[in-house]
Structure 1
Amino acid sequence: MCVIRIHFTADDLARVRFAPRPSPVPELHAALMMLSAPHEVLLFERWRSRLLRNLPSAAEPLADLAPEGRAPAFLDVLGDTPQEGFALIRASGAETVRAGIEQLYGRQPPPPWIRALHSGDAGAWRTLGRAQQAAYETVLAPVWPQVQDLHRAEFTRHAVAVAERGLAAALTILAPGSRMRDGVWEWSPPGAPGVREIRLGGRGLILRPTFHWRRGPLLQDRPDRPVALAYPAGRGLPLVPDDGSAPDDPLAGVLGRTRLALLRSLDQAHTTTGLARRVGVSNATASAHASALRAAGLITTTRTGRSVCHTRTALAELLLTGGTAGG
């Protein structure tokens, strides 16, 4: 991920909008990119293995459109329903589709059906439509009620932050570590190569939380349209169906799903606020769960000024690795 610098004009500051509801197609493609991305394999292996077991063969062509966790821009559309989103993709201009495919396969030959899609073949579009529908039913439909609930909570959190602290502060809250200075919102991950400059130029900005993609922001920057920015939000792990059935992780049966998610989120030290954000709970809930985990000897907590910082203990590492850590 490179450094991202978004330049606002005075008009843009008045045109920042938060998506009022989640869009299923962008969230689906965020999940599929996470599924195919090579990074953080251990953290997401259980989720990834479950989906790969259940994903029907009709969905397999989509892997060709997100090699190494990257997807072409023409897939990034809005729409309140899957059917509306899929129709918007189908309506993409031929030049946009060709440019997206060429960007993905500039150095290697694409699969035959991708070549056919590049030339506008109707059969290739039907293949893509069937693949998207099959993937949606398997990956996203089971967790869509959770996505809607989490989006409402994120919408409310952002609205309160804007009301209490102003827009500039609310934007930096969405992206811990980012900063707003002289009309430029900058995301600077440590060691990031290169800089991407986005100049809004009066077009405005649409903010969309995503609850599957766990890396940096996903940007859609098209001429004469508002820039759309999808940022990682929610629990910090890809969603799984919350159907009341017994958890498939034995540790969840002992610790509870929220405490286990909190413990897994401590792959690096976090404050209580940081944990609450990653797990998708209130600060008070995160603090209560941290106290229980600390009493069990699974985390340690240190105080610096008014902040506290939590880290996993060696015992927690042993539990999470199945007792294989150490000698």
Structure 2
Amino acid sequence: MLRVHFTAEDFARVRFAPRPSPVAELHAALTMLGAPHEELLFGRWRGRLLRALPGAAGPLADLVPGGSPPSFLDVLGETREEGFALLRETRPELVRSELERVYAGRAAAPPWLRGLHEGDAGAWRVLERAQRAAYETVLAPVWPLVQDLHRAEFTRHALAVAERGLGAALAERVPGSRLRDGVWEWPGATAVRREVRLGGRGLVLLPTFHWRGGPLVQDPPGRPVVLALPAGRGLPLAAPDGAPPGEALAGVLGRTRAALLHALSDGPRTTTDLARRLGVSNATASSHTQALRTAGLLTTTRTGRSVHHERTPLGTLLIS
């Protein structure tokens, strides 16, 4: 069982990661690569990626000799560069203690890891090169899909909080969990009972679309606790067949309505302006704006004889 203890201050500091985190998602995918379960669904995915991983990514395997990675790898960051920078800023004492933990009772660590233990700049460059190589093979081909899935999860959570409150939204994130007396309880989430105390640091909910096991808890000292929660379709992610980013939205709304929302990126526009930009008649543009307005994705304001359409925050969220 996992038990997350909230203070009153923590409830005001619960947030949903606004965008997927490349480094965190990469580590979830690499953890899934080494996991033995769900062979039927993930066996071919693992085999394909393991064959494709370049030699430069090899040092990453040295970090998980027993299948449990060091916690200093758990960083956020909305871009790869930001994530790598946060990783490089890890306190030296945490790097040393975590490397000693994962290698306790095992054979001597490889030379580059001993260098990382000592804070050697060259060892950090080895780690960064390995992560970049792994990212290009494992994550880059499916990153547009990860972004689309994250937007869908963000929207679902935001609507749940608005309609039913934070407590209900948290329980919905993890079926079978419950929030009572300031403790979020997840029966069966871990093999042994684990207590996580936020202590005013707050909580970040981060969906991950590769890891299919229990929650991945990032509990760095002095920082918000991050819970990486399995989300998405529950299947291995496959690269889109030439589909550009945002194509998933067009598949749901239709190409014209998706294009109409994008056309409002620079601010409100009239029906005539939208029709001209989309290459459709005024009547067709009006029909699409009505459908999007009914769905809560745009608002319409009449000023004299002019009608202006503007995206709602939800509409902006769907295409951001």
What is the TM-score when the length of structure 1 is the normalising length? Answer: 0.71
Q: Does 1:222 align with 2:220?
A: yes
Q: Which structure has the greater CA radius of gyration?
A: 2
* Count of aligned pairs between the two proteins: 242
How do 1:286-301 and structure 2 match up within 5 A? none
How do 1:222-301 and structure 2 match up within 5 A? 222-244=220-242
Give CA deviations for 1:135-175 in whole Å, capped at 9, x if unaligned: 01111011110111100000000011111111111101111
Supply the distance in 2 between the matched residues of 1:177 and 1:210 (Cα, whole angstroms). Answer: 19
Q: Does 1:138 align with 2:134?
A: no
How do 1:164-175 and structure 2 match up within 5 A? 164-175=163-174
Out of 10, 13, 18, the position equivalent to 1:12 is 10
How far has the Cα of 1:244 moved from its partner? 4.9
The question of whether the paired residues in 2 share the 8 Å contact of 1:6 and 1:200 is answered with yes
Out of 29, 53, 56, the position equivalent to 2:27 is 29
Q: Any gaps of 5 or more consecutive residues in structure 1?
A: 246-327
Supply the distance in 2 between the matched residues of 1:107 and 1:223 (Cα, whole angstroms). Answer: 25
How far has the Cα of 1:103 moved from its partner? 1.5
Q: Any gaps of 5 or more consecutive residues in structure 2?
A: 244-320
Counterpart of 2:113? 114
Q: Does 1:129 align with 2:128?
A: yes
SS at structure 1 position matched to 2:201:
coil
How do 1:78-97 and structure 2 match up within 5 A? 78-97=76-95
How far has the Cα of 1:132 moved from its partner? 0.6
Supply the distance in 1 between the matched residues of 2:178 and 2:196 (Cα, whole angstroms). Answer: 15
The question of whether the paired residues in 2 share the 8 Å contact of 1:34 and 1:69 is answered with no
Supply the distance in 2 between the matched residues of 1:69 and 1:172 (Cα, whole angstroms). Answer: 29
Supply the distance in 2 between the matched residues of 1:12 and 1:35 (Cα, whole angstroms). Answer: 34
Q: Which amino acid aligns with 1:52?
A: L
Counterpart of 2:282? none
Distance change (3 Å), C-alpha of 1:55 and 1:193: closer
Counterpart of 1:99? 97
The question of whether the paired residues in 2 share the 8 Å contact of 1:37 and 1:68 is answered with no
Give CA deviations for 1:4-39 in whole Å, capped at 9, x if unaligned: 100112221111101111110000010001101233
Out of 57, 66, 69, the position equivalent to 2:64 is 66
The question of whether the paired residues in 2 share the 8 Å contact of 1:36 and 1:68 is answered with no
SS at structure 1 position matched to 2:15:
strand
How far has the Cα of 1:111 moved from its partner? 2.3
The question of whether the paired residues in 1 share the 8 Å contact of 2:66 and 2:102 is answered with no
Counterpart of 2:152? 153
Identity among equivalent positions (%) equals 70
Counterpart of 1:208? 206
Counterpart of 2:273? none
Supply the distance in 2 between the matched residues of 1:193 and 1:29 (Cα, whole angstroms). Answer: 21
Supply the distance in 2 between the matched residues of 1:201 and 1:150 (Cα, whole angstroms). Answer: 31
How far has the Cα of 1:122 moved from its partner? 2.3
Give CA deviations for 1:195-245 in whole Å, capped at 9, x if unaligned: 111111222111100000111111111232211111000011231211259
Supply the distance in 1 between the matched residues of 2:125 and 2:95 (Cα, whole angstroms). Answer: 15
Distance change (3 Å), C-alpha of 1:62 and 1:144: same
Out of 37, 40, 43, the position equivalent to 1:39 is 37
The question of whether the paired residues in 2 share the 8 Å contact of 1:36 and 1:67 is answered with no
User: Aligned Cα RMSD in Å?
Assistant: 1.6
What is the TM-score when the length of structure 2 is the normalising length? Answer: 0.72
